[in-house]
Structure 1
Amino acid sequence: MMPTPETISLTNHTSQMLCEPPYDEGRLPLVLLYSAVLAVGLPANLLTVYLTWLQVRRKNVLGVYLWSLSLCDLSYLGTLPMWAHYVSVGHLWPWSSTACKLTGYIFFNNMYISIFLLCCISCDRYIAVVYSVESRGLRRQRLAVLIALTVVLLVAVGHVPVFTMREGNAEEGDHRCFEPSQSSTMVTGFNYARFVVGFLIPLLVLVGTNRGILANVRRSTGLRQEQKVRVRWLAVAVVALFLVCFAPYHIILLVRAVLFHFPQLENENCLFERTMYTPYTISLGLSTVNSAVNPVLYVLSSDNIRKELSRGLTQVCDRAHQRPRSDSSQNKIQPTKNSWSKVSAAWLALNADRIWKTFEF
């Protein structure tokens, strides 16, 4: 008996239903995660933008990258309410296709700007620590501004194809916005590029530069043991945070790109939808955590920044009480200037001071 068009249509519809991703799985945890990241990351990055801008005005080279990173994270966090709403209503995009593409462009754009700025920060610290004397002519604020602008422009241009992808046509079909089940040749190539350029190469840069920093700091005789421990902790935390936030997402992107070359396996077994979609949504949520942790890891953990905040709070309290600060309070919040007096050789003290300032900017 020959199948009728109605039978074929019903079979295709049933196949599509069976292969539909489990949109409801993990919906509540993902919405809560987005909300928590926004609640922590928004005030932390707003404060960091102000604090790093003060460092930029003081001609601090590292401050340029950190200020750019804070602005990037703020833009990144700005898309979370829309994604949280999208997830909460069962992955149905309620706005236009243009809004979907623009939101996706900002979201992914700032993810990779953030990743490359993290590489810039690690490279700048590596140069300052390993080539502390030679870097005095290389580490210029104007050059840092130029590098940051180049990163933003390259990533922005690289993500322009987002506006041409049919996966962003949320007004058509099932109203999905850049769901991974909607694969194509362009999306597959895009995923390969994002894995290699946006994850693998930055990971190698972060591992290489932080290993170089650790090796140099370990040999330094000018740094105290507690300072070495802190530098070691920061280097490990930078790489670990990068892996936790970005490795799961990019590994799943790679798996999805590989599965595109085996359409029969994918269509018959619904391999991605059954086994990888929920981990994909979790990994996407983890990638947002980076924006909330960056201010704490890079800025708010600095002793100098905490002392500057203390000075600001003291000034506010003094103005509220209409009395000037006492000399004793100033002495308590000012960093000590004789911390290097115990180092016998003057050049070791100077070198150690330069190394430490790259972490206590």
Structure 2
Amino acid sequence: MCNISFWTKKTKSELLLSYLFIPLSCLTYASLICVLSCLQVRQGNELGIYLINLSVADLLYITTLPLWIDYFLQHDDWIHGQESCKLFGFIFYTNIYVSIAFLCCISLDRYLAVAYPLRFAKVRQIKTGMRAVLVSAMVWIIEIIANSAPLFHDELFQDRFNHTFCFEKYPMQDWVAWMNLYRTFMGFLAPWTAMLVAYRGILAAVRCNVSTERQEKAKIQRLALSLILIVLICFGPYHILLLVRSIMFLKKPCDCSSEESLFAAYHVSIALTSLNCIADPILYCFVNEGARHDVGRALSALLSAACHKGSSSSPSHADMLNHIVCGLCKGEMHLKTQLFG
């Protein structure tokens, strides 16, 4: 085991702030997008199915954040046992690659809808949402199997200072290095490349479609580009450093100096992956002015209800909740008709 030097005070304070902020933000936004997605599914739009799966993955990840924060506060010293460490690693990796896969599904779905509207409409008429349900089930099955390795290996490692690392070994194990290469190319690079191809196809299809207004074309292009940027910003740094670490290990298996030089940056990149659960609902809810306005009104109504709680002159909680749902439904219908089709 390498004896890694831990955080500087500046790095630690910055990461601690992000780890404390992200769970609350993720929980709020993931819950909001779950409600919005359910409404969209009820309105017959299969994109809501992919978004529900994204929010489920985010909510599962949120359940691990308290242990992650504690691990960080303990200076990377895991005190919760072997089984919880395995589960933690499994959920972490599954969330990353499930999120990437469903963002890729949304990109491909939009490409097919824009490039082949007639064929795609016939497929959708077979049974609304069934295709998305089957695709979602396949994504979960594939990713659960592909990321189940931590469940069958010991993932706790001790250094000579009695720090117990969870899911981290410096230097890494040989099989882990090869698994990292597989994850980088198949779990990140392949779907991201597919999204780039879909984006190029969307641009070409929109450019050739003379019946679509310029404003509508811009909205479609903005959605496709946003999906690509979410994957790149949230998961790109992590996979770049994962690839670098793995290649360096395969060249020099016992080079502790390289591991130490990348330690802080690698952990910052891990923190960046958590931003995905904030970026997903922002992409969905605030993609155009109409959606931003209606969701904003709904949230304002929720705050108003909280501020006037207990007041006899204020509307009932049921009335206020109904106002919120109506606002969300209006935003959903506006978003659906203008952007998703």
Query: Could you say which TM-score interval applies, normalised by the shorter chain?
Result: 0.7 to 0.9
Pairing partner for 1:277 from 260, 263, 277: 263
Q: Which amino acid is 1:48 matched to? A: I
> What TM-score, normalized to structure 2?
0.82
* Alpha carbons 2:177, 2:250 under 8 Å: kept: no
CA apart distance, 1:359: 2.8
Which whole-Å CA distance do the structure 1 matches of 2:271 and 2:248 have between them?
Answer: 22
Amino acid of the residue matched to residue 216 of structure 1? A
1:235: which partner in 2?
224
Specify which of 189, 196, 205 is matched with residue 194 of structure 2: 205
Q: Distance in 1 between matches of 2:278 and 2:31?
A: 11
Q: Distance in 2 between matches of 1:24 and 1:311?
A: 43
Q: Secondary structure at the match of 1:240?
A: helix
Identify the residue that residue 69 of structure 2 maps to in structure 1: 84
Instruction: Give the aligned CA root-mean-square deviation in angstroms.
Output: 3.2
Aligned-residue offset at 1:312: 5.9
Distance 1:101 1:313 in 2: 38
* Match of residue 323 from structure 2: none
Secondary structure at the residue paired with 1:176? strand
Provide closer, same or farther for how the CA distance between residues 314 and 87 of structure 1 changes in structure 2, counting only shifts above 3 A: closer
Moved more, 185-194 or 212-221: 212-221
% identical aligned pairs: 31
Match of 1:29 among 5, 11, 14: 14
- Of stretches 169-178 and 119-128 in structure 1, the one that deviates more from structure 2 is 169-178
Q: Deviations over 1:218-261 (max 9, x none)?
A: 22223322222233333222212211111111111112221222
1:48 aligns with 2:22: no
List alignment gaps of at least 5 residues for structure 1: 1-15, 325-329, 338-352
Which one of the candidate residues 198, 205, 209 is aligned to 1:220? 209
CA distance in 2, matches of 1:149, 1:77: 21
| Deviations, residues 168-216 of structure 1 (Å, cap 9, x unaligned) | 4679963110125241122112101111111110110111111111221
Residue equivalent to 1:187: 176
Give 5+ residue unaligned stretches, structure 2. 306-312, 320-325
Q: 2:247 aligns with which of 253, 258, 266?
A: 258
Say if 2:83 is the partner of 1:94: no
Partner residue in 1 for 2:310: none
Q: Verify: 1:141 aligned to 2:124, yes or no.
A: no
Q: Distance in 2 between matches of 1:314 and 1:125?
A: 32
Matched, 1:118 2:98: no
In terms of mean alpha carbon deviation, does 36-45 or 159-168 score higher? 159-168
After TM superposition, give the deviation of residue 87 of structure 1 in Å: 1.0
Distance 1:334 1:185, change over 3 A: closer
CA contact (8 A) 1:44 1:292 kept: yes
Q: Which amino acid aligns with 2:257?
A: L
2:46 corresponds in structure 1 to 61
Cα contact 1:116–1:202 (8 A) shared by 2: yes
Instruction: Tell me, in whole angstroms, the C-alpha distance in 2 between the residues paired with 1:216 and 1:85.
Output: 49
Q: Deviations over 1:234-292 (max 9, x none)?
A: 3222212211111111111112221222336x43xx23233211111111111111111
Judge which range, 182-191 or 85-94, deviates more: 182-191
Q: Are residues 1:20 and 2:3 paired?
A: yes
Contact 2:37 2:51 in 1 (8 A): yes
Mean Cα deviation higher: 189-198 or 312-321: 312-321
1:296 matched to which residue of 2? 282
Which protein is bigger by CA-based radius of gyration? 1
- CA 22–54 in structure 1, closer or farther in 2 if over 3 Å, else same: same
Alpha-carbon offset, residue 314 of structure 1: 9.8
Per-residue CA deviations over 1:6-48 (Å, capped at 9, x if unaligned) read xxxxxxxxxx6xx422322322212211222222221111011
Distance in 2 between residues matched to 1:105 and 1:182, nearest whole Å: 20
8 Å CA contact retained: 1:92, 1:176: yes
Task: Name the CA shift for 1:315/1:272 in 2 (closer, same or farther; >3 Å).
Answer: closer
TM-score normalised by length of structure 1: 0.78
Residues 236-245 or 189-198, more deviating: 236-245
Distance 1:294 1:314, change over 3 A: closer
Name which of structure 1's ranges 100-109 and 77-86 shifts more when overlaid on structure 2: 77-86
Q: 1:212 to 1:171 in 2, by over 3 A?
A: same
**Other-structure match for 1:12:** none
Q: CA deviation at 1:86?
A: 0.7
